[in-house]
Structure 1
Amino acid sequence: MNTEQNTVVRHIRTVLVEDDTPVRERLAHIIETWDQADLVAVCSTVAEANDIIDAEPINLLVTDLKLPDGNGIEVIRKLAKQQRDAQAMVISVLADERTVLEAIEAGATGYLLKDADTPDLIESILDLMAGRSPISSSIARVLVRRLSDDNKMSHLDNETAVPALTPREMDIIWGIAKGFTYGELAERLKISHQTVPVHIRNIYRKLQASNRSEAVYEAARLGIIRL
């Protein structure tokens, strides 16, 4: 891990949601023994996770999707609604297009498959907390394929309204797509750190997006940027 990542945030208050006992124990051990995280709760159901979100401030949700009493996407939606500054990472065996897109639309900003080893998980959490969107390569292929299909459809629909982004907003969306943090964007564009979130909120509104991944997806789908 590089120095920049290590200084991003310490004591990440984390909730783990996983119903498979061996996987839950392995992931819990990784998080518990990492000095930059505090494991607030380990849950095995949607209901347990929702109760924790109601009761505890958290920075990070790490969740499976297929749970005994529902889908982890329900927990992601609740987190996005109640604790908007928190981040959500999916760790799942599910990699079909519909599931991936639903998770991202719900508010997930990271998506890993369960084959991730310890260094990959920790690096991914640091990337997530630094404002990036870590995803497994197979998940990336799902998104690229969907983007390609949507771009083909957009060429057939000339009446689709494309939101007009200002030149500065274009700079920002390109930076988001490249994985730059707010601080890096401010430094590169020579604007104040307080201005960046304002531009990003405007971009989210125009693209009808709720997070970085969704904003980049919509910008690419509409042909505003090319990945």
Structure 2
Amino acid sequence: MIVDDDALVRMGLADLLESAPDIETAAQAADGLQAIERATAHHIDVALVDVRMPRMDGITAIPRLRALPHPPKVITLTTFDLDEHVYDALAAGADGFLLKDTDPADILRAVRVVAAGSAMLHPTAARRLIDRYHATSQRGSTRAQARIDRLTPRERDVLALLAQGETNADIATRLTMRESTVKAHVSRILAALEVSNRVQAALLARDAGLTA
């Protein structure tokens, strides 16, 4: 599903997604309220959601989408000057975010990666966003470190790579592990950190200073 108040953006994204044989655009919405209606009426796997929209913005819509009986994965679409809004969106449960000028091939890859259960963070923007938040939240860093301390050394290794946006397959290659083992580690990490998805785990890792 494509959620954006700009009809031209929706049209361009729809053309791009429909060019891929394994991706179908099931619905479009002009704001958060329409997105919830469409996601209720259709089985949506992944929603590309703009941050700023009339009536209901993306940040408000994300937790409501995630609360549906069949919640879609959410990728937030943003421009680079919306750092603080993007952090809020990720904290609300988004599975990743892309800049609107992201290369088309990377947008298609993001949809596939997120649909498969991994996260997709734009590397440069994610680093600046989370580092900016970390720099203004020392108390949050202390709390984050206390939660990280619950992990085993191997789980910390997995979390550090996860926080860099690596997929399960990438982590498995880097750490010489089976992908199924990585998945098991990720499940235990999410439970130990008391977070709902990989993006929130990555934010916590950054707050704790686990990654540079």
How many pairs does the alignment contain?
208
Structure number with greater Rg is 1
Whether the 8 Å CA contact 1:87–1:109 is kept in 2: the answer is: yes
Whether the 8 Å CA contact 1:112–1:135 is kept in 2: the answer is: yes
1:226 aligns with 2:211: yes
Q: TM-score, normalised by structure 2?
A: 0.80
Where does residue 122 of structure 2 map in the other structure?
135
1:57 aligns with 2:10: no
Where does residue 12 of structure 2 map in the other structure?
26
| Cα distance in 1 between the residues matched to 2:202 and 2:179 | 22
1:108-149 superposed Cα distances (whole Å, 9 cap, x missing partner):
122222223423422333443452423163443122222233
Paired AA for residue 211 in structure 2? R
1:177 alignment partner, one of 159, 163, 187: 163
| Cα distance in 1 between the residues matched to 2:101 and 2:41 | 31
Q: Structure 2, unaligned stretches of length 5 or more?
A: none
Whether the 8 Å CA contact 1:18–1:43 is kept in 2: the answer is: yes
Measured after TM superposition, the shift of residue 199 of structure 1 is 3.2
Name the Cα RMSD after superposition: 3.0
Aligned pair in 2 of structure 1 residues 101, 112: CA closer, same or farther (>3 Å)?
A: same
| Cα distance in 2 between the residues matched to 1:85 and 1:189 | 33
| Cα distance in 1 between the residues matched to 2:125 and 2:165 | 19
1:101 alignment partner, one of 87, 102, 106: 87
Map residues 17-166 of structure 1 onto 2, 5 A cutoff: 17-82=3-68, 86-93=72-79, 95-129=81-115, 131-135=118-122, 137-150=124-137, 153-154=138-139, 161-162=146-147, 163-166=149-152
| Cα distance in 2 between the residues matched to 1:134 and 1:155 | 21
Q: Structure 1, unaligned stretches of length 5 or more?
A: 1-14
Secondary structure of the residue aligned to 1:40 is coil
| Cα distance in 2 between the residues matched to 1:119 and 1:71 | 26
